[in-house]
């Protein structure tokens, strides 16, 4: 058993993972209760697929793989070699994990090769199922119990070698492997992430309120971004790294051994030209972002986000593009463009808002236009 475990540990690294630990296939009782509490408190609101039954299934490995004995927890760093973010004037920011090509595909490909390699070594097939992010398992709960890392107060798994810049996956298997122990590390007195979160999404240590998180608003929210949240989103257009950027554990994080390829459409600095983003047709969007995590937000989502970021930047040079967005076929894009023009509020922006108010028939967009024109009126009286 020990020989097989050492082989697995070495082989996981060869297959392109940076971290590997093992936990048992026992139920995740405490994590299940924490997740169910989170749902009951409304802190997972907005994620309609994140249901109680999903949590139940995901915390009982036996339900996912009858006969499961062990869970091999894997971590892959996505820290770019150029760790320092460059200042990005006139551009919107993409969170680090999304600057590489879609990690689900890369990790699943590596996991498949990993499992096949174990079978070759054993000379027989094994029962195995593997998950990366999109499965029902609580990826962080498995990682914490295996000692791959420990829970930070921002709810991310922190690791001693790669900080929190790691993506998590698991192979559930019938192999009997000796489990590793959880780590004894904690955040101690530190609360930097809680203080730095611009939206107050970390409502208590180890608790993130989904709907207040910029990551949710810029990636998952299919409706309008709440108006009160928009100013706090700054220039993030996909995800948010603030609670990780401030984390001292990330100061000495190592880069990956076998990095996931950088997505050319985004680049290592994670800067997207917002005006260009606004003008993309569906076809242009697909051909540019296919194979990247950006696809998750869809074109409409990214154009909404681009409006919010441009509004926050008060970028007058973007007024023609935002005015053109007032004629988009998508009401959500028109609505967010109206908000952005209200933030900029120069004569050209006001003219576009007034014109649109005369022509617009959609009730939601009219409410955004009214709110934007109210802001303009208030600014005039200051």
Give the catalytic positions in this structure. 133
Q: Show Cβ contacts of residue 313 under 8 Å, excluding neighbours closer than 6 positions.
A: 90, 235
Give which of ligand SF4, ligand B12, none residue 318 binds (C-beta under 5 to 8 Å, depending on kind).
Answer: none
Distance separating alpha carbons of residues 174 and 162, to the nearest angstrom? 29
What 8-state DSSP symbol labels residue 90?
T
* Residue 371 found at the interface with ligand SF4 (CB under 6 A): no
Smallest separation (angstroms) from ligand B12 to the CB of 205: 7
Smallest separation (angstroms) from ligand SF4 to the CB of 148: 16
Smallest separation (angstroms) from ligand SF4 to the CB of 156: 7
Give which of ligand B12, ligand SF4, none residue 206 binds (C-beta under 5 to 8 Å, depending on kind).
Answer: ligand B12
Of the two residues 155 and 356, which places its CB atom closer to ligand B12 in the complex? 155
Binding site residues, ligand B12, CB under 6 A? 31, 34-35, 38, 47, 50, 95, 97, 132-133, 135, 137-141, 151, 154-157, 164, 166-168, 206-208, 210, 213, 215-216, 219-220, 239-241, 243
Q: CB burial class (10 A; 0-12, 13-18, 19+) of residue 182?
A: middle
Strands 207-208 and 150-151: unpaired
Binding mask 238-257 for ligand SF4 (x = CB under 6 A): --x-xx--xxxx--------
Give which of ligand SF4, ligand B12, none residue 133 binds (C-beta under 5 to 8 Å, depending on kind).
Answer: ligand B12
Q: Show Cβ contacts of residue 189 under 8 Å, excluding neighbours closer than 6 positions.
A: none
Give which of ligand B12, ligand SF4, none residue 153 binds (C-beta under 5 to 8 Å, depending on kind).
Answer: ligand SF4
Q: CA geometry: angle at 190 spanning 186 and 193, to 5°?
A: 105
How many beta carbons lie within 10 A of that of residue 311, not counting itself?
26
Which of 71, 202, 237, 340 lies at the binding interface for ligand SF4 (CB under 6 A)? 202
Q: Helices 298-313 and 282-289, interaxial angle, to 10°? A: 90
């Amino acid at each position: 058993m020990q020989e097989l475990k050492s082989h697995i540990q070495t082989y996981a690294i060869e297959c392109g993972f940076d971290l590997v630990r093992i936990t048992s296939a026992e139920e995740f009782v405490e994590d299940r209760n924490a997740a169910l509490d989170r749902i009951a408190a409304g802190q997972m609101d907005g994620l309609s697929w994140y249901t109680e039954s999903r949590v139940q299934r995901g915390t009982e490995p036996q339900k996912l793989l009858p006969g499961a004995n062990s869970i091999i927890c894997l971590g892959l760093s996505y820290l770019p070699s150029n760790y320092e973010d460059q200042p990005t004037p006139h551009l919107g920011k993409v969170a680090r994990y999304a600057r590489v090509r879609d990690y689900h595909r890369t990790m699943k490909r590596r996991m498949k090769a990993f499992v096949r390699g174990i079978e070759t070594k054993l000379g027989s097939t094994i029962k195995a199922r593997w998950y990366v992010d999109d499965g029902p398992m609580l990826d962080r709960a498995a990682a914490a119990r295996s000692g791959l890392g420990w829970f930070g107060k921002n709810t991310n798994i922190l690791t001693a070698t790669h900080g929190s810049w790691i993506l998590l996956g698991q192979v559930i298997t019938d192999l009997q492997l000796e489990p590793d122990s959880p780590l004894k590390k904690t955040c101690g007195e530190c609360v930097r992430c809680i203080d730095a979160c611009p939206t107050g999404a970390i409502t208590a240590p180890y608790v993130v309120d989904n709907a207040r998180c910029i990551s949710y608003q810029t990636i998952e929210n299919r409706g309008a971004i709440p108006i009160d949240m928009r100013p706090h989103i700054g220039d993030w257009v996909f995800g948010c790294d603030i609670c990780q950027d401030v984390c001292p554990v990330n100061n000495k994080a190592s880069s990956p051994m076998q990095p996931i390829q950088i997505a050319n459409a985004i680049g290592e600095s994670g800067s997207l030209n917002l005006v260009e983003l606004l003008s993309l047709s569906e076809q242009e969007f697909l051909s540019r972002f296919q194979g990247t995590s950006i696809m998750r937000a869809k074109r409409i989502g990214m154009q909404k986000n681009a409006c919010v970021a441009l509004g926050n930047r008060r970028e007058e040079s973007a007024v023609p593009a935002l005015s053109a967005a007032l004629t988009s076929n998508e009401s959500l894009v028109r609505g967010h463009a109206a908000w952005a023009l209200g933030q900029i509020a120069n004569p050209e922006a006001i003219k576009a808002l007034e014109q649109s108010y005369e022509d617009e028939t959609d009730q939601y967009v009219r409410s955004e236009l009214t709110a934007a024109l109210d802001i303009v009126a208030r600014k005039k009286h200051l």
